[in-house]
């Protein structure tokens, strides 16, 4: 009865409802109680990322059609934090006002928890550049979900957060799994596979195009239509990635990332990708990775190889000029 009433309330108020399917036992376990006429506060956090190590398709799990999947490269230097103040009112406000995906995520989370007649405000603070493929919206959404759940003393599992995130923004990155390395179906919110270990540590020389034309609307991008041969190549790359993650081999991880970047160059072109990789390798870079749905490019170096990364940074700065920002994440 509580579930039906709360969903009716959200529909009446014009709020998108959450279609996550849970058993009645699991749903009741998630239900929360709060004292009316009191304020509750919750906090949430998510790191950002630096694009992907892999993006392609898989036929795992008996899929009849290729399933779009990715492997995210986490970047703790980027982060989004959320603070939720729940108040006994029907409207929920978001600051800044343009963080509409985070707002939708918060409303979906309230619906999942069976909460109605509780609004208040949600604030988002993020240092993640927008539109470059660094997970800005996904990090905001995940932080918002965690903040709302935290206000009610709940810690939602990453699988639930993933589905809420896709409800809020149509496609999401796998940041809710924190540093775990997962093969993630970004439009379904499902971890298809969890690898045996996190990605091995690497330093990243970040190349970020800063013009407005370089900003990309991820959701507006059509899904790549990979050929049968490319699907075969992706299967081989995933097998290779499993092995090198198990062996903690950053060189082979970078090789997989480079191969994935080259295939996807056909679908979302990155300016000067070949030249950037060539310059990087001349200074010891292990390979190149990209944001497959953004403009950012990363040169991957062995952990602690600051000399090579700094040398590459100087040469790339001279070659690319003011069109880019160059940052070293170690």
Other CB atoms within 10 Å distance of the CB of residue 157: 8
Angle at 218 between CA 66 and CA 76, to 5 degrees: 100
pLDDT value for 216: 61
Contact 51, 174 (CB under 8 A): no
The partner residues of 288 in beta bridges, in order of sequence, read: 299
Q: Which residue has the tokens 């919110």?
A: 189
Residue 229: how many other CB atoms lie within 10 Å? 9
Q: What is the DSSP string of 107-121?
A: HHHHHHTT--S-EEE
Counting Cα atoms < 13 Å in the Cβ hemisphere of 254 gives 24
Domains by residue range for the chain, with CATH: 2-194 (3.30.230.10), 202-329 (3.30.70.890)
Q: Which tokens in the block code for residue 130? A: 């927008």
Question: Where are the strands (E) in the chain, listed by range?
Answer: 40-58, 67-87, 92-95, 119-126, 182-185, 190-194, 202-209, 287-290, 297-302, 324-329
Instruction: Write the burial class of residue 198 (CB in 10 Å: 0-12 exposed, 13-18 middle, 19+ buried).
Output: middle
Tell me the backbone φ, ψ of residue 194, rounded to 5 degrees: -110, 120
Distance CA 75, CA 330 (A): 10
Phi, psi of 83 (to 5 degrees): -125, 125
Other Cβ atoms less than 10 A from the Cβ of 297: the count is 27
Give the whole-angstrom CA distance, residue 313 versus residue 203.
13
Looking at residue 59, its pLDDT comes to 87
What predicted TM-score, i.e. pTM, was given to this entire model? Answer: 0.86
> For position 184, what pLDDT does the model report?
98
**Beta strands 287-290; 297-302: pairing state:** antiparallel
Q: What is the pLDDT of residue 89?
A: 78
Q: Which DSSP string corresponds to 238-283?
A: HHHHHHHHHTT-HHHHHHHHHHHHHHHTTTS--TTHHHHHHHHHHT
What is the residue-level pLDDT of the chain in tens, covering all 330 positions? Answer: 333 333 322 332 333 333 444 444 554 455 555 555 568 999 999 999 999 999 999 987 667 789 999 999 999 999 999 999 999 877 999 999 999 999 999 999 999 999 987 889 999 999 999 989 999 999 999 999 999 999 999 999 999 999 999 999 999 999 999 989 999 999 999 999 999 999 999 999 999 998 655 556 666 677 889 999 999 999 999 999 999 999 999 999 999 999 999 999 999 999 999 999 999 999 999 999 999 888 999 999 999 999 999 999 999 999 999 889 999 998
What is the DSSP secondary structure assignment for residue 231, as one 8-state letter?
A: H
In 3D space, the residue among 185, 181, 146 whose CA is nearest the CA of residue 164 turns out to be: 146
- Asked if residue 278 lies in contact with residue 258, where contact means CB atoms within 8 angstroms, the answer is no
Given CA atoms 233, 239, 243, 248 in this order, what sign does their dihedral have? positive
Q: Is 22 helix (H, G, I), strand (E, B) or coil?
A: coil
Residue 210 confidence (pLDDT):
84
């Amino acid at each position: 009865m509580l579930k039906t009433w709360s969903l009716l309330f959200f529909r009446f108020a014009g709020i998108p409802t959450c279609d996550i399917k849970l058993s009645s036992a699991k749903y009741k376990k998630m239900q929360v109680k709060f004292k009316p006429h009191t304020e509750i506060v919750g906090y949430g956090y998510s790191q950002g990322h630096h694009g992907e190590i892999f993006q392609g398709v898989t036929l795992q799990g008996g899929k009849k059609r290729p399933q779009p999947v990715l492997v995210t490269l986490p970047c703790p230097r980027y982060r989004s934090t959320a603070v939720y103040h729940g108040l006994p009112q029907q409207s929920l406000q978001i600051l800044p006002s343009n963080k509409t995906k985070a707002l939708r995520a918060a409303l979906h989370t309230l619906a999942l928890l069976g909460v109605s007649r509780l609004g208040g405000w949600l604030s988002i603070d993020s240092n993640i550049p927008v539109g470059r493929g660094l997970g800005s919206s996904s990090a905001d959404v995940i932080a918002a979900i965690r903040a709302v759940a935290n206000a009610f003393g709940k810690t939602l599992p990453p699988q639930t957060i993933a589905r809420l995130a896709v409800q809020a923004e149509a496609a999401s990155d796998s940041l809710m799994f924190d540093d775990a390395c997962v093969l993630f179906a970004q439009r379904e919110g499902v971890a298809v596979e969890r690898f045996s270990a996190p990605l091995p540590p690497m330093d990243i020389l970040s190349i970020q195009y800063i013009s407005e034309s370089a900003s990309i609307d991820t959701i507006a991008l059509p899904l790549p239509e990979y050929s049968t041969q490319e699907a075969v190549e992706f299967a081989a790359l995933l097998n290779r990635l499993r092995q090198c993650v198990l062996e903690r081999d950053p060189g082979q991880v970078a090789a997989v990332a480079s191969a994935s970047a080259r295939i996807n160059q056909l679908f979302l072109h990155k300016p000067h990708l070949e030249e950037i990789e060539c310059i990087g390798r001349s200074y010891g870079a292990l390979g190149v990775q990209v944001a497959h749905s953004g403009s950012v490019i990363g040169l991957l170096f062995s952990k602690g190889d600051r000399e090579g990364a700094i040398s590459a940074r100087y040469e790339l700065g001279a070659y690319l000029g003011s069109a880019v920002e160059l940052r070293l994440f170690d």
